[in-house]
Amino acid sequence: MAVTGIGLVTSAGIGVQASWQGVCAGISTARRDPNLAGLPVDISCTVPGFDPGKHVGRRSSLIHDRFVQLAVTAAREAVADAGLDPHTWDGARVGIVIGCGVGGVATGEAQLRTSLQNGPRAVSALLIPMLVPNMVAGHLGIELRATGPNLVTATACASGATAIGTAMQLLGDGSCDVVVAGGSEAAVTPLITTGFAQMGALSANTDDPAAASRPFDAGRDGFVIAEGSGILILERASDARARRAGIRATIAGFGASADAHHMTTPDPEGKGTRQALLTALARAGVAPDEVDHVNAHGTSTPLNDAAEGRMLRAVLGDRAAVTSTKGVVGHALGAAGAIEAAFTALALQTGTIPPTANLEALDPGIDLDVVAKEPRRRPIEVAVSNSFGFGGQNAVLVLTRA
d(CA 388, CA 392): 7
Q: Is 331 annotated as catalytic?
A: yes
Q: What amino acid occupies position 288?
A: P
Which of 24, 100, 157, 176 is the catalytic position? 157
User: Angle, to 10 degrees, between the axis of helix 66-81 and the axis of helix 135-144?
Assistant: 40
User: Angle, to 10 degrees, between the axis of helix 159-172 and the axis of helix 336-350?
Assistant: 70
Which of 64, 139, 293, 297 is the catalytic position? 297
Nearest CA to 72 out of 51, 91, 87, 44 is that of 51
**C-alpha distance from residue 106 to each of 125, 186, 272, 317 (Å):** 16, 8, 33, 42
Residue 357 · residue 28 · CB < 8 Å: yes
Nearest CA to 399 out of 161, 229, 179 is that of 161
* Count of C-beta atoms within a 10 Å radius of residue 183: 41
User: H helices within 262-373, ranges in order?
Assistant: 271-284, 302-316, 326-329, 336-350
User: Angle, to 10 degrees, between the axis of helix 336-350 and the axis of helix 16-25?
Assistant: 80
d(CA 228, CA 62): 20
> Residue 40 gets which letter from DSSP?
S
Q: Is 297 annotated as catalytic?
A: yes
d(CA 41, CA 193): 7
Residue 248 · residue 82 · CB < 8 Å: no
Task: Tell me how far apart the terminal alpha carbons of the chain are, to the nearest angstrom.
Answer: 10
> What residues contact 201, with CB distance under 8 A and at least 6 apart?
222, 223, 264, 301
Which of 64, 139, 293, 331 is the catalytic position? 331
β-pair partners for 251: 399
b/e burial code for range 243-261 (CB count within 10 A of at least 16 → b): eebebbbbbbbbbbbebee
Catalytic residues: 157, 297, 331
